[in-house]
Structures are given as structure tokens and as C-alpha cells.
Chains A and B, each alone.
Chain A
Amino acid sequence: MPSRPTQSTLAELSVGRSAVVASIDDQLTGVQRLMALGLVEGCTVTLVRRALGGDPLEISIRDAAMSVRKAEARHIRVNTSSTNS
């Protein structure tokens, strides 16, 4: 099946899904801190779970988990390859 990349933000990713970081709005201090932890364009990020109440989010990069608030996750655009079925 051919896959069609769709773009959304990290905040909208569903639990258990992985995506590739496409672009980052990088002027916020919080976002820069995330980037120092390895969240940069081209890396694969997985949304592991959401905390009680939907925020913050637990994401993982190369099996290393970290916590991100929705407010920062909205500044990160990701490409998900949704398979047409």
C-alpha cells in the first residue's frame, strides 16, 4: 500500500503513533530546551501516553522518554505516514 504523509503537530498525534519531525517553530525557550534533548527535524518521535487530563505528553526519541506540555508540542510539526486502507 502506498503511504501518504500527512502533517499535524506533535500535540495532535495519537497515543502509540510515531512520526518524523518536519519543522520546529524554534524561538520559544521551552522549545529550544526540547531541541537540546534531541527533538530536532528528521528524528522519529513516538507519543507514548498522555497524563491524566490530557496534558503533559510523554514522548520518546530513540527509546528515551521525556515529558512535554501541549503548549510546546504545538510548535512542532510532524509527518505521519498514514497507510491508506
Chain B
Amino acid sequence: MASPDAQASPVIIAIGNPNTGKSTLFNALTGLRQKTANFPGVTVEKHVGTVTVESGELTLVDLPGTYSLSARSIDELIAIDVLVGNAAGLAPPTALLVVLDATNLYRNLFLAHQLRELGLPMVFALTMTDLAPGKGVTVNVEALQERLGAPVIPVVARTGEGMEALRRALASAGTLPVPGATPAMPELRESATTLQAELAAEAASVTELERAILEPSGPAGRRLAERIGDAVSQELQSRNEALGGPSLPAAEARTRYAAIRDIVEAVETRTPPAPSPLRRLGRVFNRPVPAFALFLVVMAVVFQAVFSWATPLMDIIDAGAATLSAAVSSALPPGALNSLLSDGVIAGVGAVVIFLPQILILFLFIIVLEDMGYMARAAFMMDRIMRAAGLSGRAVIPLISSFACAVPGIMGTRVISDRRTRIATIIAAPFMTCSARLPVYALLIAAFVPRQSVAGGLLNLQGLVLFGLYALGIVGGILTAMLIKRTALRGADPTLVLELPGFRLPDARSVAIRLIDRGKAFLKRAGTVIFTVAIVVWALAYFPRPSAELLAQQEQATATATATLSGQALEEELTRLANLHAAQAMEQSALGRIGKGIEPIFRPLGWDWRLSAAVVAGFPAREVVIAVLGTIFAVGNEAEPEALSDRLQNAQAPDGTALFTLPVVLGLMVFYAFCLQCAATVAVIRRETNSWRWPVFAWTYMTVLAYVGAFLTVNIAGAVA
């Protein structure tokens, strides 16, 4: 139990169905005075904010939207914990702020009906009152207030209407009388109360026991058994059977909705909605074929935005990092500190920040589309196709996000309620061609794939290879999901019971607050990992330093050039020597030695020590490979792509033949398509699945697949060529 001293101000819990405008209301009440964290040990977000009212300050906790307290999903379990005062670090609530959608009272009242039995003071916020007239809905607020036995305040968060009244109501919420609700299922209440008396003092609340008796083998029952011993399971089971057995949850729905229908019929009037152009448009675009076309257009716009709008910003960041790095490098005396700052720290920060434009644009689209109610529509439409792969319609958006970056994609799988389907989606996500793979593909394709047209000039071979690599990622991901859904994660097909909200205009303020929130989460989760590995890779490539003998040789060469050349020629020679010396230094660094040590492993793929070292350096962050190739092939780590391609084309294997033959390059690209070379992704999989099992599996599986895929490609392409 959390101590009440942990928070001095009264704690109010905001709770309601999804899509009721609850988050918008929370953001309007708290503004930027809020913190997002996860509840300990689970991936359920906890938003805690401060609301200023006349009498002082209140702590407002925004729970994830839920339809009921049935305790089937992790969100619902957490909601119960918070409501009964079991959540770590949170004081027991003093009152509830229950959000009701005025256009959808019938369904919204189910959760409210359950909450009324908790014995806490309540305030109801009636949202969407601005949309109700357009839908032909009128709600008699006084009558609803009377039926619910608590204040009902109509609000429009976007315009601020009713917000003052809501603040006043919240200020005095703790002193409001508790709605005197009689339990909807008196036998259940009695059974839970007697069970509580039989158990040790404070072992469980009546609410928890009720949820556990309703479904003894469900999450609530299992968790109770974990907490207070297996003996309780038997007890829960026999009480469940005495009250109706497996049909008990359905009985709850029937009983409550019978009461709700009475309330709704007394307080709500519905007339057919006035025809509007928007409604007509909605009907057209909801037909299967136009809906699918619209989906393709929306996704094309998102892709275009992520990949082309972000480019100018990324170029600025890239150039800024290079300038800063050069400035630091020339300002400090040469040595380890200079290199650590210019090549390690600045490059590391740059490597993190460079992703931000794409990530923020992607998040912006996801948040706006979600608020417009489009995400649920997309899931509905794609469900059939995704189910063929053992996934759900809900997996579409996380997988599409993964084309920008697997980290936000994997974070986005939280919308999938079934654990097995969610993990299958998480494992499939890193197969999608992320934006960090693209520069590697671009470099290799430009250097080694002939620029020729195929299919009678209709297609270009280079484009075709790139398309093939994207397709390879999609097919690899889908087949992997199918494979694990049929083996490790086998089980009944989960349901897709999904609300399909109507079109709504997003609220700019709420979108902005959540965008900042997501950006921060990305920086924290991926940024720290990417930065750390950048420093580690720098250290491996920098230490140990060249021997005194080699340094003397290098100085000699520089001195000779300075003595014999001048002007333009000298400058060119000095640059050439600097790059050559950097390459020599890397050859005998830890990274170079690792490359030589593991060369035998990669020899079947046609790689030499240099390529092996570059790929190994890219294991924590795949985009690093280009900078390492630049250094190792002595064109500098900031080389123009053309200079690097030239050098790669002329690179020789130890026997004097070309190192990069077309089969070797194709194999290398297949390796990149499959390999999980991203520490940030591994860290996020660990976090989202709450175990090391899945990240270890994903990494091992993808690495083996990459090696085998590259080996087959090299040999098959070699035999054909």
C-alpha cells in the first residue's frame, strides 16, 4: 500500500472509455504540469498531472481508457489497482472524475455503473456535447445528474466551455457524498464480502474479490492466487459455480445494461441526424474498395512525409554535427580527448538527433490519425489480410511505422490486447526496412548494381533491387510471425472486438503535448542506447593506439610530402595521407583485430577483415557501418558517397581479385535485410515484453537467418553469374 504522505494533495482519478476525449480533457486541466511514466513492471502508461483550483492543488491521474473493470486486460487490472489504492507510489484516490461521451451514453454508462459501487465520491464530465446536436442527440443533464447521484458537468475541452465549473467541482469533490448505489449483483457482493472476512485482514478489497469470483481463471483470479496463495483459487472457483459459472460475466453485462437502458431512456432523446456533406463523404469512403484506396493514399502521404519532409532537417543536423566536430577537433590538441569529443560524443549525439525529424513526423501522423478515429478503421479494414499471417488488424500501423524505425513501431504494439499476437507483431517489426538500412542499400546499389533498364525500359534494375529488399523484409517478417504463431505462441484466434469511433477533429494542444511526450520517450529509450553504443564503437576503433614504429613511419611520410610538394598538390597529398593513416590506425585497433579474428566466420560470405570489422561495428547500430567503411577504406569517415563507392568498386581481396563482386554485394544486402543490428530495438523489445527471452530470441534468430540468407545468395548468385 502506498502511504498517503507520498502525495500531499488530494488524488483524483480520471477514468472513462477510450475515444471519449479523456486525454484531451486531462491535458486541458493540467497543461504541461504532467509527467508520464510506466506503472512499475508493466507497459501501462501512468499520466500524473497537477490541477490548480481555488483551494490549492490537486493531483490528477489519467488512467488508460477502458470499457469495463472486467480485469481481462493489463490496463483494466492496473485501473483496479489504482482505484482500490493498491498502486505503488500513488495514494488511494479521494474522488473519481468519470468521463462520459454525450453521444454514446449507453455504452459509457457501463463502466460508470461499475465505478458507482466503489464507494468513492464522483464527478462526471460530459464530453462531446458540441457534437451531440449534429448527431441528433439531446441529453437532459439535470435528469442524468439525479439518476447518477453526482454532479454532471458538460464540457468542451477545445473551447474551454464548462472547464471552470469542472475545476470548481473537482476542488470540492473529496467532500461530495458517495453515490449510494446498491450493488447490481447483490449475491456477488455478498459472496465477495464473506470471502474477504475469511481471508487475512487487508488481503484483498471487495472489488478485487468480485472481479476474481466473476472469472476465477482470468487475470484477476490468477493474480489473487499469486498474491495470497493457491488455496484461494479453489474458493473462487466454488463461489463462481454457486453464482452461475462461466456465464457469470455475461450475467453482469445483462443486469447492468438493463439498468442502463432505463437511465438512457429517461435522459436521452435521439432524432435521426441531419444529413451533412461530411456524413455522406464518410459513407462513401467507408465502402470496402474506396476505403482501401484511401488507406493506400494515407500511407503514401505518411511515407512521403517521413522520408522527404524530414530530409532537409536531417541534412542540417548532419552538417551541424560535422561542423561542430571539425571545430572541436581543430580547437583541441590532438589526442584521445580530442577524438573522444569530436568522433565519439558529437557523432554519438548526432546519431541520435538525426532520427528525431523522422520520428516526430511519424508520431505526429499517428497521433492525428488516432484522434481522427482513423486507426481503428484501418485495423478493421486490414484485419482479414493480417489474420492470414496470424496477426490482427491492429498490427498494421505498428508494422508500417517500423519502415521508419522499429522502435516506435514496437512501442505502438501496445494497442494489441492479445499477448501472443502482440509478441508476434513485435518480432515481425524489425524485419521491416527501417530508415537506417536505407543509406546502406543506397550506397551498395549505386556502387554495384548496373544502371540498366529491364522489362523493356519500364523498370530500372537499381530500383528493382531496392524494391526486392523491401519485399524481402516484409515477407521475412510475415513468415516469421506465422511461424511463431504456429509454434511457440500457438493458441485460439483472439477476438477483434473494436470500437469504430466516428470522425473527429483533433485538438492541437492535446496533439502537441502527446507529441512532445512521445519524442521524449524515444530519446530516453532509444537515444541513451544509441549514444552509448556510439561511444563504445569509438573506443574499439580508437584503442589501442598505433605503435611508435608506425607513428614514426607516418610522420616521416607527412614530412616528406611537406618538403617535396606545395600548394594544391600538397593539400591533396596531406588529405590522402591523413585518411591512409586513419585506416592504418583502425587496422591495428581493437575493432580491426576483431575483424581479422572473425574473418574466417564471414569468409564463406566473401567478406574480408575490413568488411567483417565494419559489419561487426554496425551490430549495435547498423547505420555506423558507412562511417566505419569510410575510415577503413581510407576515404575518411565523412566521405562523399561517390568517393566511397569508387573505393569500394576498386577494393581488392587478398588474392588480388575484386572484393565486392555482385554476388557478394547481393549477399551483404540480404544480410542487412534480415540482421537485427540495432541495440535500441533489442532494448525496446526487452522493455515491451518484460523479459529477456524475446529480445534474445529475436537477435539470435535474425542473425542466423541473415547469415544463412547471405550464404545462399552469394552461392546461388555466384553460380548464376
Contacts and interface: CB of A to CB of B under 8 A. Distances in A.
B384 A53 contact: yes
A24 B247 CA distance: 11
Given A29-B72, A63-B270, A67-B497, A35 B254 contact: yes
For the residues of B in contact with A, the DSSP-based class is helix
A74 to B, nearest CB: 12
B250 A67 contact: no
B383 A69 contact: yes
Q: Which of B68, B287, B500, B501 has the most CB of A within 10 A?
A: B500
Nearest to B70: A36
B103 interface: yes
Interface in B67-102: 67-68, 70, 72
A38 B110 contact: yes
B106 interface: yes
A49 B253 CA distance: 25
Given A62-B270, A67-B376, A67-B383, A32 B493 contact: no
B106 A38 contact: yes
B499 to A, nearest CB: 5
Contacts of B494: 30
A65 B499 CA distance: 6
Contacts of B68: 36
A68 B287 contact: no
Interface string A15-47: 000000000101101111111111011110000
Contacts of B501: 65
A34 B246 contact: no
Interface in B347-390: 376, 379-381, 383-385
A30 to B, nearest CB: 3
A72 B492 CA distance: 13
Interface string A50-75: 11111110100111111111011000
Interface in B497-525: 497-502
B250 A62 contact: no
A62 B104 contact: yes
Contacts of B104: 62-64
Contact of A56 (B106, B270, B496): B496
Contact of A63 (B135, B291, B379): B135
For the residues of A in contact with B, the DSSP-based class is mixed
Given A67-B383, A69-B383, A34 B497 contact: yes
B277 interface: no
A52 B292 contact: yes
Contacts of B67: 36-37
Contact of A52 (B257, B384, B497): B384
Contacts of A36: 67-68, 70, 110, 249, 253
Contact of A40 (B135, B254, B270): B254
Interface string B38-81: 00000000000000000000000000000110101000000000
B560 interface: no
Interface string B461-505: 000000000000000000000000000000001111111111000
B254 A41 contact: yes
B286 interface: yes
A52 B288 contact: yes
A69 B270 CA distance: 28
B289 interface: yes
A49 B247 CA distance: 29
A66 B500 contact: yes
A29 B42 CA distance: 23
14 contacts: A27-B250, A35-B257, A37-B110, A38-B107, A49-B286, A51-B380, A55-B384, A62-B107, A63-B103, A63-B137, A64-B104, A66-B499, A67-B379, A67-B499
Interface of A: 24, 26-27, 29-38, 40-43, 48-56, 58, 61-69, 71-72
Sorted from nearest, which 10 A-B pairs have the closest CB atoms?
A30-B495, A26-B250, A35-B253, A65-B500, A67-B498, A52-B288, A53-B384, A33-B497, A36-B68, A40-B257
Given A26-B247, A63-B137, 18 more contacts: A30-B494, A35-B253, A36-B70, A37-B497, A38-B107, A41-B254, A43-B257, A51-B288, A51-B383, A51-B384, A52-B288, A53-B385, A58-B286, A63-B270, A65-B501, A66-B500, A69-B383, A72-B495
